[in-house]
Amino acid sequence: METLIAGSNVKVNEEGYLLDFSQWNRGVGEEIATKEGITMTPRHWEVIEWIQEQVKADKALSIRGIKKSGVLDIKEFYALFPGGPLKISTKIAGVPKPKSCI
């Protein structure tokens, strides 16, 4: 389905994940973050960019993988994206929901 996010019509699935990454931009990410109750900071954007790089490199995302990444620890990940950090951060990043998320 299509929905209006940050002034752009984007295709999303029933959970609000973008179906076409080419429709993502920072404004879209910012609006999704706001809807999720997240106020984006430079640190949030660093994590979002890392997630996007992992997906572009065709690497599976998981909490365990993030723990081993050296990019951030699990405690910080939960502090930045409370209530489901992998699910929320990937939605903001405009990438598909990880298979490890239920």
CB 51 within 8 A of CB 33: no
Mean pLDDT by 10 residues, the chain (102 residues): 92 94 96 96 95 92 83 91 94 88 66
Closest by CA position to 86, among listed 27, 34, 39, 36: 36
Write out the catalytic residue numbers.
Answer: 101
pTM of structure: 0.92
Is residue 54 classed as helix, strand or coil in its secondary structure? helix
Q: How far apart are CA 84 and CA 102, in angstroms?
A: 10
Given this model, what pLDDT does residue 50 score? 93
Given this model, what pLDDT does residue 34 score? 97
CB 63 within 8 A of CB 42: no
Given this model, what pLDDT does residue 15 score? 92
Going from N- to C-terminal start, the domains of the chain cover 2-93
